[in-house]
Structure 1
Amino acid sequence: MKLFITISLSLLILVQPLSKMLLVLHYQVNRGYIAAVLCENKAKPQLHCEGKCQLKKELKAAATHEAKLPQLLKAQHEILYFHQLPFFPVFQRIFVSFQIPVRTYKAVAYASPDFSIFHPPQV
């Protein structure tokens, strides 16, 4: 089920950028039908239109449809907030010195390692 949903959502995302290519593919597959039935210039065979007028009309309709979509996104208003900081206090913050406490370690007594445990294996 997850695979089906993933594939279908991926296809839906890819259909929008590939819409013009799909229109051209549809024209190539159905060229005979478009030239015989839908062509506006079928009465003028000297133009050699062969349905390209219909393809041009569909591509123009798709372009106008895509041109309407960004206008919906432009309706959003952006609010910019700009606060100007004073120039000199910024430098004062950079050059502030930090006092880091120094901790020293002092060993109280030295204990030698126990070599009775650490020895090579006996063969």
Structure 2
Amino acid sequence: MLDFLAISAVGKALQSASNLVRELKRPRVSRQDFSAILRHEMQQQRAGTKHSAELKQASGMAETFMKQRDADGNGRISLAESGLDAKTFEAADLNGDGELSPQELQAYLLKQIQTARAQATNHG
């Protein structure tokens, strides 16, 4: 009976030691590292929210521009309808077909908004 109890105690001790080793091998995150991870995640969320706001702004501007400038009502804007200089028009005409689609206009305006915000951030 004594041998059985001794073997049982040794088995429990080995199991406890094994659990301790396994626990010590688990990666630990310090409070400082956790705070850094949390800050990074929050920055990513803010960046996503900012991008969403910029996209909404660009979309609204593109829609207004299309309504004001699409003289023939075909849903696309020619250089003549746009009132833009040729260089700006070409930069916005992503597929080079000579007309601005709502998507091209939105993409161009989004890029302009983001560039302006980045410059304001760097200078202010």
Larger Rg: 1
Higher relative contact order (CA 8 A, sep 6+): 2
Which has the larger helix fraction? 2
